[in-house]
Amino acid sequence: MGERKQISVVGVPMDLGQIRRGVDMGPSAMRYAGLIEELKGLGFKVKDYGDLKINRFSSGTIREQNLKNLHEIIKTSEELCRELDEILSEGGFPLVLGGDHSIGIGSIAGISKHYKELGVIWYDAHVDLNTAETSPSGNIHGMSLAINLGLGHPLLTEIGGYAPKVKPENIVIIGARSIDEGERELISKKGIKIFTMHEIDRKGMTQVMEETIQYLSSRTDGVHLSLDLDAIDPVDAPGVGTPVLGGVTYRESHLAMEMLAEAAVITSAEFVEVNPILDNKNKTAIIATELIASLLGKKLI
């Protein structure tokens, strides 16, 4: 990040992109874990914009075209898009606290318009590349990356008034280990760079991050980190809605964040899918807070 920018924190307590309640408490859990104090302790000026108000079932539409809670998610995404557009216009570093991963629709919509070639690191056990046609569940949090590529319901892909938000060659997925058939085909067809757990095990996190940083630095003018806490092994991070065994370790994740901090490539970030109801003594929110601190330059010595 270079100079000590203002960190602009926005909470999005949304749980409409999936079916397990509790992830709407994620922003509160991260603040309770001492996030704001941690950032101030690193020397940042912090402006906390509070949480967006989520209007549950305002339209009465529960499911449309295999898309659960479509209209509520559109409304929240548009609000988040406007908020982040404004934050970037004022020169702040946007830090978004989720909520489920459907918030990545509104966040990237607001951020991408400020860059010619936005890069995205999707740090997640899932690749979120389903569409209404391929989704087994109809949960929009599993479609957010596809929507940012311009694939999906036009009311979602056109949020912010433009599409696509990101080019496939500007994306790197890290930590994936649960990929649906339709998503696998899309990764291959679009040539999206992906480091599954197989690659992380084989190459080690250092090489994965070196390759990621080199790949994105050469082709982008800003990089958004979208980190789903379920990328981390559920032994370390139990408080997530869709845990998948065999994930990235706590220490590997810190190393990844530290390397991104050293490279100074990240221009915005979101941390999503913290679910305190499924957690153990707020452990997952504490890990999220620690990872944010590492991303923003906190070092061991």
> Known catalytic residues?
101, 124, 126, 128, 141, 228, 230, 273
Separation between Cα atoms, residue 164 and residue 147, nearest integer Å:
8
Separation between Cα atoms, residue 249 and residue 52, nearest integer Å:
31
Give the strand pairing for 63-64 and 67-68.
Answer: antiparallel
Separation between Cα atoms, residue 42 and residue 92, nearest integer Å:
16
Spatial contact of 142 and 16, defined as CB atoms under 8 Å apart: no
Which residues are CB-neighbours of 126 under 8 A, at least 6 positions away?
101, 142, 176, 178, 179, 228, 230, 242, 244
CB atoms within 10 A of CB 271: 27
Separation between Cα atoms, residue 13 and residue 79, nearest integer Å:
13
Spatial contact of 123 and 228, defined as CB atoms under 8 Å apart: yes
